[in-house]
Amino acid sequence: MKKLDSRSRVTKKMVPAAKSKDTNSDLRQQLEDLTEKIDLVLPEVTARVAALEHLLREKNLVSRQDLISARAFVRLQEE
């Protein structure tokens, strides 16, 4: 199977000035839709992570300190 180069898959098209405003509004709408989807999914993902942490602690697979360290690491990556 031939491996595709990322540059060969993406083609840039010049957008006429009149269409530029339409494109911006389309992109803005897509961004708003994506934000709404994330807002709906995030609480579910958070609850699942909390449930997994609880199970890990219950089965004594990790310590409380391990979880605290993992959260701190994630926070550092977010910055």
Q: What is the DSSP string of 8-62?
A: HH----PPPHHHHHHHHHHHHHHHHHHHHHHHHHHHHHHHHHHHHHHHHHHTTSS
pLDDT number for residue 48: 97
What is the tens place of the pLDDT at every residue in 22-51?
888 999 999 999 999 999 999 999 999 999
Q: Count Cα atoms within 13 angstroms, Cβ side, for 10.
A: 4
Of 50 and 12, the structure prediction assigns the larger pLDDT to 50
Q: How much is the pTM?
A: 0.58
- CA dihedral (47, 30, 74, 48) in degrees, to 10, reads 10
| Highest-pLDDT range among 7-11, 18-22, 54-58 | 54-58
Q: What is the pLDDT of residue 5?
A: 54
